[in-house]
Amino acid sequence: MGKTKYQPRWQVFKPVSKFIEKGMAGSLLLLLATVIALTWANSPYADSYYGLWNTNIVIGIGDYQFAAALGHWINDGLMAIFFLVIGLEVKREFLVGELSTPQKATLPIVAALGGMIVPALIYTIFNFSGTGAHGWGIPMATDIAFALGCVMALGRLIPLSLKVFLLALAVVDDLGAILVIAFFYTDKINLMGLAASAIVLSVLWMLNKRGVRRTYPFVILGILLWVTVLLSGVHATIAGVLLALTIPARARYGKELFKDKTSSLITSIPDKDFDIMLVDETEKRIISQLKHAVDNIETPLQKLEDALQPFASYFIIPVFALANAGVNFLEGGNGMGILNPVTIGVVAGLVLGKQLGISLFSWAAVKIGIAVLPEGVRWSQMWGMGCLAGIGFTMSLFITNLAFNQPMLAYQAKIGILSGSMLSAIIGTLILFADHAWHKNKQA
């Protein structure tokens, strides 16, 4: 207890700082993929852009085959891995992270709820009885990669506690988006497929409870779970989240057992120099046992998250953006302009709904005494961060694909996502920069 109390703040937040630094590279790749997609879709080679993602891909064994366009494989297959990573992050945050205690979790949860409810209501006001009514979930999401990119651009102007708040809010936001997809953007249910999914989930749960700590059984059964969820009618990406919930978060070795195992092994290492390489068989055996001990103190959840996080950030999300962000602006001349209820609803939901929902719900939570502001954070900074949360790029595009089958409605929604996200980024960045400048001049 005493050590934690006097631990320097930079050490306490070091894992968060490392995550934010890694997120910057992912943000740049995502931005690059988006620019390429928009440029390609509006170039003389636009037909090749759309033709690529409509290329039919067949995967199967014998008579059992899945045939779908490349874009569908990305949205239903690769994105399932992305949702697995989200699920692992959500589970970790609720177990040991920024959502692990009521004191830590209350403000991000309340803020995220406001940031989902208000944008959905604003969108619905513009599309209550129109053809775009089913798209109410589009402006609910926050793209943490782009939001972090804006935060990183501001550097030391933003207190680390506010960045931690944004990360925690994004985790709850992702969880909310997952629930919305599962319950409101699901096709007709196939009971046989649903039953098969329940059986696979039961086996995964039993493996966890029986102490299985190897990752490969969970990965193999996870692929089977993806197939059964796909057949059930529930969107296949939900399989990633369900799999994450079954991944063990406890290691095979506890701290004391690990110390006992490793200390005895270290003291038994022969007194021989091995600066160049290991040649002594005893040394090799001891080092192998040390590796085994280290492997047994790391949880399967940590292993999978560490392995998949770079793949999701540096490959899956940029590829998803490349396949889905390509909007041909020339189509606006065919009756698809920006002055329509869907586009206006998405822009208003992201730009106004997010900042109002997050700011007002946070203020109410602090006012009634169920939450407190992060240390060193001002309400003006919370407002700016609420604006940045209106960058709803990746998940908003994903929900658009689920909400609309009509190309015109999908086009209108994507225009709204691009416009609303850009405006949110500009407004949020300007507010946070102006807040810092004003307080700096005030102190001077």
| pLDDT tens track for 63-90 | 677 778 899 999 989 999 999 999 998 8
- Tell me which residue of 325, 359, 326, 336 sits closest to 119, measured CA to CA: 359
Distance in angstroms (rounded) separating the CA atoms of residues 38 and 415 = 11
pLDDT at residue number 160: 82
Q: Please, what's the b/e burial string for 87-117 (b: 16 or more CB within 10 A of its CB; e: otherwise)?
A: bbbbbbbbeebbbeeeebbbbbbbbbbbbbe
- Tell me which residue of 148, 63, 175, 104 sits closest to 371, measured CA to CA: 104
Instruction: Give percent helix, percent strand, percent coil of the chain, each to the nearest 5.
Output: 75, 5, 20
Token readout for 203 is 């086996």
pLDDT at residue number 114: 96
Radius of gyration of the chain from Cα atoms? 24
Burial (CB < 10 A; 0-12, 13-18, 19+), residue 440, is: exposed
8 A C-beta contact, residue 217 and residue 200: no
Q: Please, what's the b/e burial string for 360-380 (b: 16 or more CB within 10 A of its CB; e: otherwise)?
A: ebbbebbeeeebebbeebeeb
| Domains of the chain in sequence order | 2-186+235-250+299-443 (1.20.1530.10), 255-293 (no CATH)
- Tell me which residue of 354, 360, 341, 366 sits closest to 416, measured CA to CA: 341
Largest CA-CA distance found in the chain, in angstroms, rounded: 80
pLDDT at residue number 1: 41
- Give just the sign of the alpha carbon dihedral 308, 309, 314, 318: positive
Angle (CA) 382 383 388, round 5° = 95
pLDDT at residue number 66: 75
Token readout for 141 is 């999401």
Report residues of the chain scoring pLDDT below 70: 1-24, 62-63, 253-261, 264-283, 289, 292-293, 295, 331-338, 444
Phi-psi region of 23 (alpha: psi -120 to 50; beta: other; left: phi over 0): alpha
Distance in angstroms (rounded) separating the CA atoms of residues 420 and 113 = 19
pLDDT at residue number 235: 85
Coil, helix or strand at residue 59: strand
The residues, any chain, with a CB within 8 Å of residue 107's CB and separated by 6 or more, are 165, 362, 365, 366, 371, 372, 373, 374
- Tell me which residue of 121, 175, 147 sits closest to 356, measured CA to CA: 121
pTM of the model as a whole: 0.84
Token readout for 213 is 């700590």
Token readout for 273 is 């120099």
